[in-house]
Amino acid sequence: MDTSAVFDHFRASGAMLEGHFELSSGLHAERYFQCALVLSEPWRAEALAEAFEQALQSTSENANATAVDCVVGPAMGAVVWAQEVGRALGKRAIFTERKDGSMCLRRGFSFRPGERVLLVEDVLTTGGSAREVIAVIEEHGAEVVACGCLVNRSGKNPFEDLGLPLTALVTVDALTWTPLECPHCASGSKPEKPGSRAQAGIGGGA
């Protein structure tokens, strides 16, 4: 599935917004991807996850990414995406979540010692939340062997310093600014916050 086909799914489901937005990272942007909308339609979620699995298979540096025991994503934004990727790979899928502001495992989820993990995000901007998830996984004795996302808007692999390959279904050139640098704020515009973190203390789209 090429970038155009992926964006067709986003547009058809109303999941790609344009305007002035505050991302879950705190950065401001002109484009917002509300992945919950595109993933709310199971046939689209399935098609995107199968395309992502093919992207993993076709990238030589990610040869180990499909030989994993578990797929993990942070709540809330990546819960459904992790489930769909796990289904495509035939692996179990779990999620981390925040409690008192810290990322953790709950609901009886656990890892076996040395278990190999594919970490997935829905939208990747700075990779900050994903690094928190990596720390949780390692604290529980498992090993992150690769990372992936539905949309990469970071412009790079934020995990390169960790030696982790990144597979993105699409990579977009989306400008972001700090609030002080944002030209929309400078003109008096106030950003929308369509993600769920501001509303419920947890992450959403970006």
Per DSSP, the residues of 39-77 read HTSHHHHHHHHHHHHHHHHH-GGGTTTTS-SEEEEETBT
Quick: pLDDT tens for 75-132.
Answer: 988 999 999 999 999 999 999 999 999 999 999 999 998 999 999 999 998 889 999 9
- Domain 3-200, CATH: 3.40.50.2020
Which of 55, 71, 64, 76 is CA-nearest to residue 168?
55
d(CA 171, CA 191): 23
Mean pLDDT of the chain: 88
Quick: pLDDT tens for 160-180.
Answer: 999 999 999 999 876 789 999
Specify the 3-state DSSP secondary structure of 161: helix
Which residues on adjacent β-strands are paired with residue 81?
Answer: none
In the DSSP assignment, the letter for residue 203 is B
Which residues on adjacent β-strands are paired with residue 143?
Answer: 116
- DSSP H or E segment with residue 185: helix 183-186
What are the domain boundaries of the chain? 3-200
Range with the lowest mean pLDDT among 1-5, 78-82, 134-138, 197-201?
197-201
pTM for this prediction: 0.82
Helix axes 3-12, 42-58, angle to 10 degrees: 160
| pLDDT above 90 (res 58) | no
Question: In angstroms, what is the C-alpha Rg of the chain?
Answer: 16
pLDDT at 199: 38
How sure is the predictor about 185, in pLDDT bands with cuts at 50, 70 and 90?
Answer: very high
pLDDT at 38: 95
Specify the 3-state DSSP secondary structure of 19: strand
pLDDT at 61: 58
**Residue 24 has which token pair?**
């879950």
d(CA 120, CA 83): 10
pLDDT at 173: 72
What is the number of other CB atoms lying within 10 angstroms of the CB of residue 50? 15
How sure is the predictor about 154, in pLDDT bands with cuts at 50, 70 and 90?
Answer: confident
Quick: pLDDT tens for 128-144.
Answer: 999 999 999 999 999 99
Within the chain, strands assigned E span 16-22, 28-33, 70-74, 92-99, 102-104, 116-124, 143-152, 166-171, 176-177
| pLDDT above 50 (res 200) | no
